Structures are given as structure tokens and as C-alpha cells.
Structure 1
Amino acid sequence: MKFKLSLLVVLGLLLSVFLVACAGGNEESSEETAEESTEEEATEEETTEEATEETEGENVLNFINGDAIPSMDPSMATDEYGFQFLGATMEGLYRLDENAEPTEGIATTHETSDDGLTWTFNLREDAVWSNGDPVTAHDFVYAWQRAVNPDTGSEYGPYMMSGVIKNATAVSTGEAAVEDLGVTAEDDYTLVVELENPTPYFESLTTFGTFLPLNQKFVEEQGDSFATSSDTLLSNGPYMLSNWDSTSSSWDAVKNEDYWDAETVQLDKMTYEVVKDAQTQVDLYEEGTVDRATISSDLVDQYSTHEDYVVTPETSVFYLKLNQTRNDALANTNIRTAISKAFDKQSAVDVILNNGSIVANGLVPAEFTPMPESGDDFREVSGDLVTYDKEAALEAWEAGLEELGTDTVELELLGGDSETAKVMDEYLANQLETNLPGLSITLKQVPFEQRLDLDTNMDYDIQTAGWGPDYLDPYTFLSLWITDGGNNKMGFSNAEYDALLEETTTELATDNVARYENFLEAEKILFEEAAIAPIYQRAKAQLISPKVEGVFVNPFGATYEYKWATVGSEG
């Protein structure tokens, strides 16, 4: 899934003004006024004590979000924030447990045909929407058809379902009716799914946000307002959003008492505040306002011995997307090759990030998936496919300039608007301009939602971007760059690459050893063509309160699982 680029880097500005409390008053107050104030203060104290007594028993955790939620529509969400809160407030056929294994959600069990093409899911009969309607197989049929209907304009529907669900590609391209999609309700509580080809990772796919059900009557009643505010949302998961709309800088996730497994959910509420600045996050943590904060690199040394300091490795990879359609220079393989080799990734990791992140010299992350027979890590077997090499970068650069018939190139680098993202982009631009004579980089920093729009419209030259896996298989990364793929959005196209990946979903679908050999070969082609320029594999350095218990970090899908979260004894 797409990520907001919240890089943990040195901050030039500390926005402490937000934490300063100002007081003032009239020094000429009379004794009578003072007495009245004292009486009022006493009354306020009593009221506060009563309120405290009322809320003392609540189980509440307070968190920070890096930006607003762009969309809560399962068909339209494409980013980490959308999928995070969809995962908290809704439930699909299955959800991930503590070990990242699918555990029962709306489905209790399923059967698979001998050829692996037909999956029959048995749904529970005690699941309801937050308006009281039952959750049925028809809700899944409607949602999945809506996600691939070209009239919907979903990016993830075709991306996640094409080549997987029978007829999804034909439906998404308008060549077949939505009713032809391979998903049917045998009855209210039996869902039958027909696959295009055997799909080894299909069960894990069902945990992902795009495959969530939708209440058709409610969605159609809301029209264009659906999923734009708390009032136009329905939940069938552990929590419900409160006080939220698409522009909110703060909101709550409150326990859904109508959730079928509400007895398991121990939290009454989670509060969220948008804070983009890492220093401000730490200040809020230190004063006890929030229960988790991300640590920027300049604070790591200060807090690395703190008892609440935690480093969490992730399977998210960040890279430069090189759009081959808007600027002639980036259509040149030598120019792209030069860019991919011209910046010092190790310094970015050690000095700028300083948070446990590691250099990325390929696309599929380390410690993500093992090879089928040997069990060796895929990244280790595939090796370093593109490394920092100034001499090789300069050689490719000069060859590219000669092919273009110029000695100068001007490019725009698109990135996020947070202080942290700006520092990383400035570093990358400086590295590229320093090591590639004649290159001029213009920075364009925009809010996350605007960056998603610019990406969708391919209105950029170079873009800092990141991807977290949607399921446990290399295909979740490598399928990004299939010709005209829903997430390609940079004009990369290679017929051999496409063919290798298509084979993994067709004739090799049941031969995992052969599938992985194709993945290895496809990844090599990706970097021979210098399609993207990998930067790093992310880790998070955070302060996490001991009171935060039972929160699982997922290797794919929603970043956090909160169904089993509790407020510990330290709280």
C-alpha cells in the first residue's frame, strides 16, 4: 500500500509554540471579584472531580496520526492511513492475529475445491452493521463488484482482484458485466468465490481492506457523501469512527458495542491527533498527552536508553519513482540508471534516519518471505541489484546526456510537506545535483492527499514513495510495475517482465518453486531497466507507553491491529 512519507530525520524547526500555555489578567481586580473567582474555581474543581470519577474506569489510549485520513471508502482507499482505520472499524472474511495468520472474522470456516479455483466461505449469523442490519454474503458480493466496476474508479479493486477473482480483469475494463465477477451469494451466509487461477496467498488477501463488505442500501442512500464523515459510515468491526470527516485533524475510534466479538474488545476508545512534527510528538508523549510517539534521528541518541524506547523493523520499502512519460530525460535508461546510483543510501540510513532502517538495494524487502525449498530469505538470494556508485552513476549520466544531445537536465522531485519529508528530499536533491553535473532539481512538497492525486495523474518527474505489502508473497511488490498496472503510474513497461509475472499466476500458480524463480528474474529486469531507485527499508524508532498492550504490528495490510489492545497495569 502507499505510504505517507513520514521520514524520521533531523528537524531544523521545533514547533514548541503549540505547547506553550499563555496566561494573563487584570491586576486591578477587586476583592469582591476575587471572592467570586474563588467560589467559581471551587465549583469547577468539584465538577472536574465528578468528571474524573465518571471517566476513571474508561480504557482509553491516545495516539498520533501523521496526517488526515484521505478516504474511508474501502473501494477507494489506497494508503496506509485509510487501510489502518478501515481495519480498525470494519471486518472482512478474516483478520490477522498476533502471528499474522488469518483468524476468523465474518467467515468462520471455508472449503477449497481440489483444483484450488472455488472457495466456499461459511459466514457467521451473529454479525451486524452498526445500524443493526445483518452482515451477509450479499454485502461481500456488492462490495467486490463495486470495487472492480469501472464506473467506481477504484485503483485498488482492479489491482487486487485482476488475475485473481474470475473475470475481474474483464469487468474492470468494461468488457464484462459486474455480475460476471466470480463472487456469488449461495444464500445469506454462504459466499462462493471463483478464482481465475489457483492463488496460494488468497486467504491472506481476504484480510485486506479492498475485500471488506459494504451495506448496499446504506452506501446508495449516502450517494457521494458515503464515507466522508462519521455520519456517513457504517462499521461491522471492533471500533467506530467518531468526530471524523475527511478534513479532520483529530478524531476518535470508539468501541463498537454491536460487534459480534465485542466481549474481546477491551478498549473503550482511542483518540487520534494529527501531528506531523516529530519533536512535537515527543513533547506530547513526555507530558503524558499521547501514548506513542515517533522519534526523529536527532532525538534517537537522547532517547535510545529511555525505558519506553522501541525499534520496530518493518517490511515497507521506500524508493524514487522515475516517471518515464512527462520528461524526455527520464525516458532514457542511462539517465535513470545514473539517478539510481548517485545518492549515498548508507549515509541516509545512518545519519539522517538513525532509527534502525536499513539500505534497500532491491525491491522485495529483507526478512519478508523465504524461498520455498531452501528457506533462505528472498532478499539474500536476489542480492544487491543497485548500489550507490558515484563513478558508475557519472558514466551512465554522461552516456545519457550524449544520447539526449544536451549537457543539462531539469527535473522536479515530488514529496511530502512535513518537516521530516522535506529534509530527506533536500538531501536526495543535493546528492543528485552534486554527483550528476548539469542536473537541476526543483523540490515540490505537497500534502499527502495531493501527492496521491499527482501520482494518479502521473503529474510528476521523480517522486519519493513507499510501499508496504498487501499480502505475504513477492507478487505484492513486483506486480506494481506490470505494464499499465493500477499502481504503475510512471510509464514503465517491459514485455519480458510482464510475462514472467503472468506465469506466476497462471501455469506456475501451483508450483511455488518455479514461481519464486520467476520473481527473482523479474526483479533483476526491474533494475536492469532502472525503473525505480530504492532508498531504504523502514524501521520505526518510537516511545511507546507500557500501558499499551495487545497491539500487534502487521507485516502487511493495516499497520496495527487493535482488536486485542488493552490498557495495561502501568496505565
Structure 2
Amino acid sequence: MKKTNWLLLVLALVLSMFLAACSGGGDEGTSSEGEGSSDGGEKKEEKADSQDSEQVLNIMDSAEIPTMDSSIASDAVAFQFLGSTMDGLYRLGEGGDVEPGIAKDHTVSEDGLTWTFTLREDAKWTNGDTVTANDFVYAWQRAVNPDTGSEYGPYMMGGVIKNAQSIADGDTPVEELGVKAVDEYTLEVSLEKPVPYFKSLTTFGTFLPLNQKFVEEQGDQYALEADTLVYNGPFKMTEWKHGEGWTLEKNEDYWDAEAVKLEQINVKVVKDVATGVNLYETGEVDRAGLSAEFVDQYRSSDDFRILEEPVLFYLKLNQESNEILANVKARKAIQMVIDRQSMVDVILNNGSMPSGGHVPKNFVSHPETGEGFREINGMLVEKNVEEAKKLWNEAKQEVGMDTVELGYLGGDSETAKNLDAYLKDQLEQLEGLTVKVQAVPFKERLARDEKMDYEIQFSGWGPDYIDPNTWMNMWVTDGANNKTGYSSEEYDALIDKANTEFAQDPVKRFETFLEAEKMLIEQDAVLAPLYQRASAQLQKPYVKGVIANPMGPDYIYKYAYIEGK
């Protein structure tokens, strides 16, 4: 998901969700909520002045929440508000550091296979029940149970938690999942292999607990409305007007309620950037994302900011849907014909950067040298229109086609439509190619991706945990987020080696991922990388303490507050 396996894990006033990761799917160039950074990480003692200000935050999102069921969620908007209303074993805090959630601490066995979590005894659900180890056992079993139909359960837990993949495949009873309630406040997790990033993974939305009694009482109505949900996090949803917006209020029963200053968060669904900017100017919302045409207008404003994000956007190429896309030369031609620099400078104009790989800049570094992953592998794809046309013509000859028509699945927001029109124009530089753009709502795009009902798809991904694997394991054969038809025994073997043989050898593991990325992009041209997102935003100066996340929920509101309004 992240997101949170987003995305989570967000676009402000334009679709910014990713199928995922979070985590992924997604759109375009601004963050859906328009939040800025953590405002310099103000210390909690600086919040004294906030007592005189009404603690209400008004924000926007560009799309409806598809679901609030943590077993089903697979997009950034869902993971954002699950993260705002729920605590897992751990949470993310300032700088992506892992903070205590329901778990007070944990121990790990010498072989790295058994993790034992000690849970706090003062965590409550909003129905008054105590949060216990069984809530995690039930939630994790539900997420991998094939009857649930979760995308992220098998994806996040398969090959990680003992028996998860076999259960998801229907070969093993769900009760044999490697998670056990030793007692009410002790959770024991057995892994398939050592997982270097497992603590980080437990912060992701799919690993949130569920109150079994409440979920089963609601039946098929669970998570469809604000009152068919139960919460254990900093906020609780009190109103959910589908398609219009939702309201969160402070959860007074939260175990760490003293740290929560905001009393209410109001969220409006607004797809049009100009409408969002107008709402910001009239003081109806406290943040707004900016599309290209507004950036220069507001660049000198004290409210203006640009936030770089570890979120990548790319074209997915369905190798099963069209004979030409099954040809690697055609896919390389699509990669090479796009002018990424003009795309980010003119169409996005928000600080986004051209991408030539599938791991973002400033995300992970070589464990020995400290050099960034992206700096080591560099741009694996560069614009070369002449070579692209040559490869395209060779591909057409090889498959016996003179003219080609390809469907392009894009978003329905304003920025999405501008970006998709630009990419259509770029791709149609290839002789004989006609691109038919289909603009659909994000929820429909998720459904069509799942069914592989597309030819070219604009897509995005935000990390589910801070490790190259969150990007690389997406494309293994039959991977839950693959959905391109790509299958390579050699690529699968590299990912397996990184996560088994080299699981406890950080240098060899990192270098194996470097090799895998070259195969994915440079050799097999599975994707056409586009850009790494940055968000141009307006934020009222009285909004403090919002933390921007590198994974999972895009923003943390637990420590946010209003000061001097």
C-alpha cells in the first residue's frame, strides 16, 4: 500500500492516489490533501499559544474514500484516513521514525524469525472494548483469507508471515497463519524468513487490528458508513457524506489523547484545482494543492511551499492486451519518445522531477557507501526520439502491423486530463500510432487495473515501507500489483535472492536490487518511468505540526494544531 502498501501512500485537488501504497494507482502532480511538511517539527512545548485558537483543520481531497475496511484498502486516500483513525502495533512519526502504537516494545529471536510484541493495556476501541492481541490475530487472518478478497493482505504478508501465501492460495487453513495471541497483551509473530524492514511494515494499514465482535456484528455493512466503524486511533470519523466529504473528531478515549490537539478535521472532496484555490482564498480551507497554471501566480506568497515526495508515476504497459505491447522494442520506443523534462517544467510546474528508474531519489542509500540508490543506477531511460521511432518501426514489422491503436487509461481530474493529453501527443510521434484516452474516476481505474482491462495505464506508487523491496517485488510473476503480464524467471530469482539468501547481508541485498531495477526498466522495459512527484501547495501559516510521511498515510495529524488563527 502501502501505501500504504500508500499510499499510501496524495494529490491536492487532483487525483493523487496510488494503487497500493500505497499504496499504488494514482495521479499526477500535487498532493490530494495539500498538506505541507511538518512545519519544522515544532516541539510540543511550543503549542501553548494553540490553546487560544479553535482546533479545527479544514482540508480537501480529490476523491471519495473507496473503503475504510483495512483488509480491503489499497489506495492512498483510504490509508490516509485509516492512519488518522487507527493505531497498529507501531506508528510513523517525525522523519519517518517508528513510534510506539498499541505495542510498547518487542523482542526478536536470534534467527530473526520470531517477533514478540508486548501490547499496552490502556488502548481502547471507541465501543469501549480493550484492544488485545486477538484483534491483530483476527485482522491478519482476515486479510489473507481468500474469502475476504483482499489485494494487500496476500501482497504484504505473503512470503513474510509464516504460511500467509499458502493460506491466500487456499492450500492451508487460515488458523495456521504465523500469528498468535500468547495472552491478551502478548502477540507472537512467526516469519517465513528474516525481514529487515518488518518493524516498519507493521505501521502499514493492512496490519491494523480489527475488533472481531464489532466487525462480525456489522456483517456486510462493516466500514460502509461512519457508524459502522470502530476506532482506536487519534481521531474517529463522525460523518461521512459519500462523494462530498467527511468529518473526523478527536478520540477522547485514545491512549495518547493528551498528545492530540486538533478537535476536528473537516474534509471536502474537490476535484477542480481552481475551485480549491478559491476555497483557500476565501478561508474555507486551510490548504490547497496547486496545478501548473497557479504555481507562478503564488510562488512569491508566504503560504507557498514545495514538498518533494518518494512517489513515482509511470505508464503501465499491458503485455497481454495487444500484440505490439508484447514486443520489447515497442515498449522501449514508448519509454524513449517521452520528453520528461518538458513534462515536469511545463505541464506540472510544481517541483516534480523526471524519473528514469523505479526507485525514487532520496529514499534509500547503499548500506556501505551511503550513496543513494537513484544516484548509483542513474537514469535508465532517456529521451531519444530518433531511436524510439527506429525501434517502433522494427516492432511493427516484427508483428506485422502498419497502424496501431492503443487505449490509454487515465484520470478524470483537471491535472490528469492535461497530463494525459501531453502524453498522448508525445506517444503519437511514433509513426502509425493512435492513442485513445479514457478518463475515468480513480475507483474505476483500480477495478480495471485489477482485471487488466487496459492497454496503457497512467499509474503511480508510493512506498509501503522504507526498503527497495517495496518497489521491486511489485513485478514478480503473478504479483498482486503486477497486472502487466510481465513474467521473468531471472527477475523473480533476483528478488527471491535479495529476500532470502541475502536477507541478512545488507550490501549484497542492496546490490541485487540495483541489478533487478536495470533488468526491469532497461532490459525488459516493463514500465515507462515518468516523474517523481513534488507537491506545490498553499498552507495557512497558522497550521502547525503536520508531519509528511515517506510511506503509508501521506500525512500525520496526531501532532497537528492551529496557532494564532
TM-score, scaled to structure 1 = 0.90
Q: Is the 8 A contact 1:278 1:296 kept in 2?
A: yes
Quote the offset at 1:384 in angstroms.
1.1
What amino acid sits opposite 1:553 in the alignment? A
- 1:510 aligns to what? 504
Residue in 1 that maps onto 2:55: 59
Deviations 1:471-492 (A, max 9, x none): 0000000111011000001111
How far apart are residue 248 of structure 1 and its match? 3.3
Matched, 1:116 2:137: no
Find the counterpart in structure 2 of residue 438 from structure 1: 432
Corresponding residue to 1:338 among 310, 319, 333: 333
Q: Which amino acid aligns with 1:200?
A: P
Superposed displacement of residue 438, structure 1 = 0.2
Give the Cα–Cα distance (whole angstroms) in 2 for the partners of residues 377 and 56 of structure 1: 44
Give the alignment partner of residue 199 of structure 2, picking from 199, 203, 208.
203
CA contact (8 A) 2:25 2:461 kept: no
- The letter of the residue matching 1:308 is D
Partner of 1:312: 307
The correspondence of residues 33-432 of structure 1 with structure 2, limited to 5 A, is: 58-244=54-240, 247-432=242-427
Please state how far the C-alpha of 1:99 moved relative to its aligned partner.
Answer: 2.1
Q: Following the alignment from structure 1 to structure 2, what is the Cα–Cα distance between the partners of residues 75 and 222?
A: 15
For residues 8 and 476 of structure 1, do their structure 2 counterparts lie closer, same or farther at Cα, with a shift above 3 Å needed? Answer: closer
Q: Name the SS of the counterpart of 1:391 in structure 2.
A: helix
Give the whole-Å Cα distance in 2 for the aligned partners of 1:58 and 1:309.
23
RMSD: 1.2
In the TM superposition, structure 1's runs of 4+ consecutive aligned residues that sit over 3 Å from their partners are 3-6, 55-58
Distance 1:71 1:56 in 2: 36
1:548 deviation in Å?
1.1
Residue of 20, 24, 28 corresponding to 1:7: 28
Name the CA distance, whole Å, in 2 between partners of 1:521 and 1:557.
26
Determine if contact 2:74/2:151 at 8 Å carries over to the other structure: yes
What is the aligned residue count? 523
Identity %, equivalent residues: 56
Under a length normalisation based on structure 2, what TM-score does the superposition of the two structures give?
Answer: 0.91
Shift of 1:117: 0.6
* Contact in 2 for aligned 1:67/1:448 (Cα 8 Å): yes
User: Structure 1 residue 564: deviation in Å?
Assistant: 0.6
Q: Distance in 1 between matches of 2:25 and 2:454?
A: 16
Q: By how many angstroms is 1:297 displaced? A: 0.7
Give the residue type in structure 1 aligned to 2:529: P
For residues 215 and 495 of structure 2, the distance between their equivalents in structure 1, rounded to whole angstroms, comes to 36
Aligned mates of 1:107, 1:65 — CA distance in 2: 31
Distance in 1 between the 2:173 and 2:437 partners? 44
The residue type equivalent to 2:528 in the other structure is A
For 1:370, what is the secondary structure of its paired residue?
Answer: coil
Bigger radius of gyration among the two: 1
1:567 alignment partner in structure 2: 562
Gaps spanning 5+ residues in structure 1: where?
A: 10-54
Task: Give the drift of 1:6.
Answer: 4.2
Partner deviation per Cα, 1:411-445 (whole Å, 9 max, x = no partner): 00001111210110011001111x20100110101
1:451-466 aligned within 5 A = 451-466=445-460
Q: Could you tell me how far 1:519 is from its partner in structure 2?
A: 0.2
Is the aligned partner of 1:473 residue 2:467?
yes
Question: Any conservation in 2 of the 1:4–1:416 contact (CA below 8 Å)?
Answer: no
AA at the equivalent of 1:559:
D
Does the Cα contact within 8 Å between 1:163 and 1:505 map onto a contact in 2?
A: no
Deviation at 1:257, TM superposition (A): 0.9
Judge conservation of contact 2:244–2:269 (CA < 8 Å) in 1: yes
2:518 maps to a residue whose letter is K
Name the structure, 1 or 2, with higher relative contact order (CA <8 Å, separation 6+). 2
Name the stretch that deviates more: 370-379 or 498-507: 498-507
Aligned to 1:34: none
Q: Distance in 1 between matches of 2:508 and 2:143?
A: 31
CA distance in 2, matches of 1:474, 1:562: 27
Deviations 1:151-181 (A, max 9, x none): 1110000110111111111111011111111
Unaligned runs of 5+ in 2: 4-17, 19-23, 31-50
Contact 1:5–1:421 under 8 Å retained in 2: no
Structure 1: how far apart are the matches of 2:387 and 2:493?
30
Within 1, Cα distance between the matches of 2:93 and 2:435? Answer: 45
Instruction: Tell me which amino acid in the other structure corresponds to 1:7.
Output: E
SS at match of 1:364: coil
The residue type paired with residue 447 of structure 2 is D
Matched to 1:85, the amino acid is: F
Partner amino acid for 1:209?
Answer: G
Question: SS of the residue aligned with 1:444?
Answer: strand
The amino acid across from 1:137 in the alignment is A
SS in 2 for 1:538: strand
For 1:8 and 1:503, the matched residues in 2 are separated by: 35
Q: Distance in 1 between matches of 2:475 and 2:152?
A: 14
Contact 2:196 2:503 in 1 (8 A): yes
